[in-house]
Structure 1
Amino acid sequence: MSELKDIKSYNLKELKEELTKMGEKPFRAGQIYRWLHVETVRSFDEMTNISKSLREKLSREYEIRNVNQIQVLVSKIDGTRKYISEIKGGSVIESVLMRYHHGNSVCISTQSGCRMGCKFCASTLKGLDRNLTPSEMLDEIYSIERDINEKVSNIVLMGSGEPLDNFDNVTKFIEMITDENGKNLSQRNITLSTCGIVPNIKRLADMHPQITLALSLHASDDETRKKLMPIAYKYSINEILDACVYYFNKTKRRITFEYSLVAGVNDNTEEALKLVGLVKGINCHVNLIPVNPIKERKMTQPDKAAVQHFKSILEKNKINVTIRREMGRDINGACGQLRNEVMSGKILKD
């Protein structure tokens, strides 16, 4: 028996083509698309204005691919909710809901695991399992909205995985979550975080999106960056910054530079001044992130005074800078940590 086709990963045009091949009227595609992406149903049986015969035909050829939440942890400090979900094949992913005064923000995974090898990130400890499909990324959002009975207003592609290593599926996800026939989210409410895959930054820029590009910089010279991020052996900081400027010139969207502060590695005055020299003149914002301690990597946060000192150096040099607010620190907030515990059997699935 051939594998069922992933109907929730079809955009409306593709769905119309599928329905036409089945001998159905094209308007049926619009009905089905609405059920999948507005009503966010999880089975064909819920599509009440579709005939039983068509629903049966759909179920023989297609699947509605969902993520299945197996655990939810809720922070007693700030209400942050961390979701552990199982995907097809039995692997697990993490998604995080963060509540802000401006709305609900969700950080989603784009891959199960990651192959980038960044030393400060737990997501990469077990390598890459597989890429997520557009349907699975969409359902990270849909299932959280269903759980809280509220809308998600902002999306951050900053969970497990490197989004630009899953380029086609991620750009399809962005197209579909912003489709006026579906959730109709503004592209300006989406941030994509990348460690710096230069050709794909430029490919993304050529699509003229209005999403925010967040570049995981984390060091101000290539040698320090190599200690933290293997991608630095492939692309130099200068190549990455050139790609970021290219992105800005194509989209006119301000670049965010993420900088994880690791005690004794990249948190001193010299590094701050080098960072100023790198980013000055680029329309950008620097987001300082005191690193999440990861026991397997023996990396620790600088103290608050060191973080504030680093920030003050950037401010004195007229660089837009903030310190990321730590969310959900009582629920194992670092990317990938809970997933690894589930995959190693320390946390059992239901």
Structure 2
Amino acid sequence: MSVTLDISHEVQGAGESPPADQAARANLIGLPRPKLQEALEAAGIPANQTKMRAGQLWTALYHQGLTDFAGITTLSKALREELASRFTLKRPEIVTEQISSDGTRKWLIRLASSDPRAPAPEVEAVYIPEPDRGTLCISSQVGCTLNCTFCHTGTQKLVRNLTAEEIVAQILIARDALGEWPTPKEGRKITNIVLMGMGEPLYNFDNVKDAIDILSDGEGLSISKRRITLSTSGVVPMIEKVGSEIGCMLAISLHAVNDPTRDMLVPLNKKYPIAELLDACRNFPGLSNARRITFEYVMLKGVNDSKEDAKELVRLLKGIPAKINLIPFNAWPGAPYECSDWEAIETFADIVNRAGYASPIRTPRGRDIMAACGQLKSESERLKASLRAAQ
């Protein structure tokens, strides 16, 4: 049985703008260290103190998880009051938290709106607990431009990119909910981060890069870049920059072994076909057996799940240190595809395994709360449509 908790703040209704005093104060969450120092200097802190003060704030925000200046006792009371008058540490609003029967959690998060006349944009983040790890799936955009036909998220129009603040805040919100402050050294609940939620991360490169730098900083959230995976549908010109400028792990949403099929499933393939995509993967900086690329492959009945498809996949990936995640298709209302039969999935996996590639079959998680791969945001969209119809 799944559980849904409506925990939205009563002081601010759906789509309303924050009070004027909040709107005027800049949020310090999501600022890289140099920009945080610049903000403090602009606020009147002497230049020779900004590095130290930024370090104290960094510890408070990302190690202790504090949400107001009053608790930052490493700063004087007068300085705390001055900072509180200029800045905020406010999290985005949580509208609902849903808990699946399998322990998966999904948060619907309401962001600030730049237009007070428009509904505030919303994104979803998902926490997946497993015996040996806990994975947090986060979003990089509100909506998506890619229109992948097997993905419900792709049916929703792009609203805007998330800021680094909004990307980082998803981790802070999850750790609030899981009671994981201060940052633990061992026995963490959140061990891995995947940018596999709403949106294409490489179409929001700068904000994603800043967010990952904050997540991986050893004096704060301290999540190794080896445990952060960026998933792309194949924005070929940006793939090299992931390796050279970000340094996290890379996942490719492949889903097909020939261009006609991938053109249908992932329309971006018409711009960057499979051969170009795999060339970029072969040239990925730091690629090795220790830093393999993960290829995601959703299993669609009668579309991409034959023995011949499996053999062609092995041929295509030859020479690329790789792992293949086979993903049983997660249905959504009106979906044009069906999940492959289990026997076909196991046969496909066996062919790939025998060729020397790890090819785990991903266990579907959170289906009862529409939190599984490809389902994000759909439930909140359905609820909003129901509310509009009732008005």
Per the normalisation by structure 1, the TM-score is 0.92
User: What is the aligned partner in structure 2 of residue 84 from structure 1?
Assistant: 108
What is the RMSD of the two structures over their aligned residues, measured on CA atoms?
2.2
Whole-Å separation in 1 of the counterparts to 2:319 and 2:214 = 34
Whole-Å separation in 2 of the counterparts to 1:177 and 1:120 = 30
User: What is the aligned partner in structure 2 of residue 135 from structure 1?
Assistant: 165
User: What is the aligned partner in structure 2 of residue 228 from structure 1?
Assistant: 265
User: What is the aligned partner in structure 2 of residue 286 from structure 1?
Assistant: 324
Confirm or deny that 1:336 pairs with 2:377: yes
The 1:5–1:105 alpha-carbon spacing in structure 2 relative to 1, beyond 3 Å, is same
User: What is the aligned partner in structure 1 of residue 274 from structure 2?
Assistant: 237
Pick which of 186-195 and 318-327 moved more. 318-327
Q: Is the 8 A contact 1:65 1:135 kept in 2?
A: no
Q: Cα deviations across residues 148-172 of structure 1 (Å, max 9, x unaligned)? A: 2134211111111111111011111
Pick which of 309-318 and 128-137 moved more. 309-318
Within 5 Å, which residues of 2 pair with 1:88-237?
Answer: 88-89=112-113, 90-150=120-180, 151=188, 152-207=190-245, 209=247, 211-237=248-274
Aligned residue type for 1:85 = I
Q: Is the 8 A contact 1:163 1:194 kept in 2?
A: yes
User: What is the aligned partner in structure 2 of residue 13 from structure 1?
Assistant: 34
User: What is the aligned partner in structure 1 of residue 55 from structure 2?
Assistant: 30
Q: How far is the alpha carbon of 1:75 from its aligned partner?
A: 1.5
Q: How far is the alpha carbon of 1:123 from its aligned partner?
A: 1.3
Q: Is the 8 A contact 2:94 2:110 kept in 1?
A: yes
Q: Cα deviations across residues 135-194 of structure 1 (Å, max 9, x unaligned)? A: 222121111111121342111111111111110111111100111221111111111111
Aligned residue type for 2:173 = S
Unaligned runs of 5+ residues in structure 2 are: 1-19, 114-119, 181-187
Q: How far is the alpha carbon of 1:250 from its aligned partner?
A: 5.5
SS at match of 2:35: helix
Q: How far is the alpha carbon of 1:214 from its aligned partner?
A: 0.6
User: What is the aligned partner in structure 1 of residue 3 from structure 2?
Assistant: none
Q: How far is the alpha carbon of 1:345 from its aligned partner?
A: 4.4
Aligned-residue sequence identity (percent) comes to: 36
Q: How far is the alpha carbon of 1:41 from its aligned partner?
A: 2.1
User: What is the aligned partner in structure 1 of residue 116 from structure 2?
Assistant: none
Q: Cα deviations across residues 87-116 of structure 1 (Å, max 9, x unaligned)? A: 112211111111112232111111111111
User: What is the aligned partner in structure 2 of residue 64 from structure 1?
Assistant: 89
Q: How far is the alpha carbon of 1:67 from its aligned partner?
A: 2.3
Whole-Å separation in 2 of the counterparts to 1:291 and 1:336 = 17
Unaligned runs of 5+ residues in structure 1 are: none
User: What is the aligned partner in structure 2 of residue 42 from structure 1?
Assistant: 67
Equivalences, count:
346
Q: How far is the alpha carbon of 1:13 from its aligned partner?
A: 2.5
Q: Is the 8 A contact 2:197 2:376 kept in 1?
A: yes
Whole-Å separation in 2 of the counterparts to 1:235 and 1:129 = 24
